Amino acid sequence: MKISEIQDLTLQELLAKGRDLRVELFNLRLLKASSQLEKSHRIRFIRRDIARIETQIAKLRKKTA
C-alpha cells in the first residue's frame, strides 16, 4: 500500500484497514508456524503497512486534538 493511498483515507477507514491487516498478519504467522507459508516476505510488507497506517492515525489524532 502506498503512502498516498493511506493519506487519502479517513480515520475510520484507517482503523478498519489496520484491523484487517492485523488479522492477515496473524493468519500469516499461523501459516509460518505450521510451515505452510510460501511467501514469507509478505509478513514484512504487512508489518510495514501497519506501521504506515498507525503513523497516519497518530497524525490525524494529533491534528484534531
Residues 6+ apart with CB under 8 A from 42: 28
What residues make up the domain containing 48? 3-64
Whole-prediction pTM: 0.92
What is the per-residue pLDDT across 35-59, written as a single tens digit (0 to 9) for each? Answer: 999 999 999 999 999 999 999 999 9
Half-sphere exposure of 58 (CA within 13 A, CB side): 6
Which H or E run contains 9?
none
CATH of the domain at 10: 1.10.287
Q: Indicate the number of domains in the chain.
A: 1
The C-alpha cell at 7 is 493519506
Half-sphere exposure of 19 (CA within 13 A, CB side): 6
What is the per-residue pLDDT across 6-31, written as a single tens digit (0 to 9) for each? Answer: 999 999 999 999 999 999 999 999 99
